[in-house]
Amino acid sequence: MDQIQEDNINQDESLRKAPKLYLFSSWYRLAFILFLALSLFFVTAFVVVLLLTKSEGLVSVPNVKHKYLVDVFNALSRKGLKIELDMVDMSALGKGYILDQNPKAGVLVRPGQKIVLIINRGSLATEVPDLVGKPLTSVESLLSSVQVGGKTANLKVGEITSIGTNEEKAGIILAQIPRASEQISANAVVHLLVSSGPVRPGFRMANYVNQDIDLLYDAFEMRDIQIQYKIQNVNDKKFHGRVMAQYPAVGVDLQKGSAVQLTIGMFSEEFYHRIGYELVRYQVSADLGDKPLEVYIKDKQPKRRRYRKLVRPGEVIQTVVRREGSAEITFESNGKVLRTMEIQENKSRQ
């Protein structure tokens, strides 16, 4: 009996102790979680303080891309950055124009660190000779005589397009791209529009692929042929402003007043460079129905027409114009200016 009572007492004591063990275990887990939280907090705080301490004295690299060195030199010097120049020669850009930079804008660096700027030197550029009015047979010798930096520029004849004209005999140059006196670099290509002799009845399509659109507008306007434009985005800048496809095909005869469809390559650019091709669009207003619409451009060259068509209300027209430097583009009807668009070279397109 005494043994039984003793066992019951021990069992009761075990039951009374069990909750205490459970309670102790709960507090232990809570303390452990609190310890982890505090540890994480102090580690995070230490990292933040370390980063803030390390960033003291750093400067942010400014964005100088697509600007001129003369405009940003002082700002870079005030930040303590050492400027290193990497020169290239591009005739379509102004002298001292920054094409790229390293480190990129926004990078934190210490004063005294080097920043490399890729800029246009422009010293190895020369003027295009005036070829208009000269025989095609003399072009190669004229181009070979051009010098750049004391060496032969090695200019080449590009695409040659022929068109009939009663004003000039066959083989005489009517127009050129780049134009006379434009700045070009060595190994540049000059495209030509050449007379094929007296005008014949009708108009026969030639091969215009790869030719400069600015030359072709004059050629088609001479024969009263309208151009309808399609646009094709290209990844190679050498096709910028060039004919990629044509309709009708080579050899098709057209009548006066007919239209041709030309697909023009357009290279996406972030800024308006010194020389460029611009895609311009215009939506005809409701009150302009069945009237002629003309697009003119004026830049360093005299004002010239680059689009003409009898339009319908609500119609959206588009054309491609070539400009040299800043330009003013006007949309006109019967001598009345409907809209003016200004382009400033080396400015953002946004």
* Domain residue extents for the chain: 59-120, 127-200
Tens of pLDDT, residues 166-193: 778 899 999 999 999 888 877 889 999 9
Query: What is the pLDDT at residue 8?
Result: 47
Structure tokens at 139: 């072009």
The yes-or-no verdict on residue 34 having pLDDT over 80 is: no
What single string gives the DSSP state of each residue in 177-222?
A: ESPTT-EEETT-EEEEEEE-SSPPSSEE----TTSBHHHHHHHHHH
Is 0.85 topped by the overall pTM?
Answer: no
Long-range contact pairs involving 246-250 (C-beta distance under 8 Å, separation at least 24): 246/205, 246/207, 246/208, 246/209, 248/205, 249/205, 250/205, 250/206, 250/207
Comparing 12 with 125, the larger pLDDT belongs to 125
> Does residue 95 have a pLDDT over 70?
yes
Q: If residue 69 lies in a helix (H) or strand (E), which one and from where to where? A: helix 69-78
Region of residue 150 (phi > 0: left; psi between -120 and 50: alpha; otherwise: beta): left
Mention every residue, 6+ apart, whose C-beta is less than 8 A from residue 160.
Answer: 136, 191, 192, 194
pLDDT, residue 260, reads: 96
pLDDT band at 273 (very low <50, low <70, confident <90, very high): confident
* Cα separation, 180 vs 347, whole angstroms: 25
Judge whether residue 324 has pLDDT over 80. yes
Q: Residue 275: its pLDDT value, please?
A: 85
Q: Do 218 and 193 contact (CB within 8 A), yes or no?
A: yes
**Is residue 38 over pLDDT 80?**
no
CATH architecture of the domain 127-200 equals 2-Layer Sandwich (3.30)
How far apart CA 276 and CA 240 sit, in angstroms, is 8
Tokens standing for residue 18: 């069990």
* Bridging pattern class, strands 336-343 and 327-333: antiparallel
Specify the CATH number of the domain 59-120. Answer: 3.30.10.20
Q: How confident is the model at residue 52 (pLDDT cuts 50, 70, 90)?
A: low
The mean pLDDT value of the chain amounts to: 84
pLDDT bin (cut points 50, 70, 90) of residue 137 is very high
Contact 101, 64 (CB under 8 A): yes
In angstroms, the Cα distances linking 319 to 6, 107, 227, 305 are 109, 41, 9, 11
Q: So what's the pLDDT on residue 308?
A: 92
